[in-house]
A and B are shown apart, each in its own frame.
Chain A
Amino acid sequence: MEAKKHKVLASNGGYSLVELIVTVLISGVVMLAVMGFLTSGLNHFRNVNSESLLQMESQMTELFVTELIQESTDYRKVTDLPSGVSAALEIERGTEYYILALVGNELRFGTPTTGSTVSEKVANVAAQDRNKTFLAQYVTDFSLASGGETFDDAKNNFFQGTLVTIQYQVDQKSYTSSSLIKLQNIQRN
């Protein structure tokens, strides 16, 4: 009796090696399960994060491009592209002349300082310092119907417009923005 009481109050037996190993194994299994939850949660967060990133990017770019084309007096798709540029547009607004170019995954916007042919002008804007021309990132494709078409606004009011499509991608998540731009200063046909 005396011996038993002593054992309960201040047992000096401690844990055996086997007990410790079992504890470590069990906590290992628990840790693995927790890690699994954590990584799946992180993946979900990344997905949502890149989607909102692309939406924000698109929102900021779309307004700029819309205003640019809407107010333009003429715009032309560039067919003779210099190397490193996958799409480009010449834009005229009165006497002002701009180039919109897709360089790698970035949209650049600026006025050429040198170049006589269109291709040279596009190459010049693409080579200009990023801190003067950066417009958008994560862009994989940029296209629009050249020259404008006639659209019907469903109330039988016909207007000259063009459909601009910009595709974005980050971490396997892609986003496409399409907007129909009404041309204010261009009358064709």
Chain B
Amino acid sequence: MEMSRRKWNNAGMSLVEIVVVVLIMGILSAGAVVGFSFIRNRDASSAAEALLTALNRAKIQTTASDGVNDITLRVVADGDGYSAKILKSGTVIDEVEIGDSALTIVAKNDDGSISKTVSGTNVCDITFQKSNGAFTSNYTKLIVTGSKTVTVRMVTSTGRSYIE
């Protein structure tokens, strides 16, 4: 009897034990998901991607607008983080979430004589030329710093942007 019990123990796990294991796994994975999204919010590269999307949208909006050079891309920091607003004559027509307020965003020109850190009252306005979509604002790079630093380059003469 003792011998056969050791060879083939049929006791297994009870339903309660399995339910407890599943519950613990659920709690752990929920925690992992929350932690992951927090890391994502701090991630500079996803913020740079969002900035790139906003820049491209604003460029297309400027060239497609019925007005002349009435579109502005405004990068702002508000309560919960950064966002890029596309304004038509001062009215918001589109908005892209950039990222968590734990990031810093600095707008610069080539020689560094202009350097603007985006914060509450400091907004960064980027504008385009309607005729060919080139930049009319002076900034040539947006530097996003989180757990790492990512630079979005703006090519003044062509109005194109890319992530360095």
Q: Mark A132-143, 1 if CB is under 8 A from B, else 0.
A: 111111000000
Q: Restricting to B112-133, which residues have a CB under 8 Å from any CB of A?
A: 131-133
Cα A137 to Cα B158 with chains together (Å) = 13
Which B residues are CB-close (under 8 A) to A60? 56, 59-60, 133, 159-160
Q: B135 to chain A: closest CB distance in Å? A: 12
- B133, B155, B158, B164: most-surrounded residue (chain A CB, <10 A): B158
Asked whether A13 lies within 8 Å of B12 as measured between CB atoms, the reply is yes
The answer to whether residues A110 and B60 also contact, given A15-B13, A16-B12, A63-B133 and a CB cut-off of 8 A, is no
A56 at the A/B interface (Cβ < 8 Å)? yes
Residues of B within 8 A of A16 (CB): 10, 12
Question: Is A114 at the interface (CB under 8 A from chain B)?
Answer: no
**B162 contact set on A, CB distance < 8 A:** 130, 134, 137
**0/1 string, B123-148, CB within 8 A of A gives 1:** 00000000111100000110000000
Given A56-B56, A110-B157, residue A63 in contact with residue B12 (CB < 8 A): no
A contact residues around B155 at 8 Å (CB): 130-135
Residues of B within 8 Å of A130, CB to CB, are 153, 155, 162
B133 touches A14 (CB 8 A): no
Query: Taking the complex as formed, is B4 at the interface, i.e. its CB lies under 8 A from any CB of chain A?
Result: no
CB proximity to B under 8 Å, residues A41-62: 56, 59-60
Q: In the complex, A110 Cα to B160 Cα: how many Å?
A: 13
A contacts, CB < 8 Å to B = 11-17, 20, 56, 59-60, 63-64, 67-68, 109-110, 130-137
Binding site for A on B (CB under 8 A): 10-14, 56, 59-60, 63, 131-134, 140-141, 153, 155-160, 162, 164
The 6 closest A-B pairs by CB, nearest first: A14-B12, A67-B132, A135-B158, A15-B12, A131-B153, A134-B155
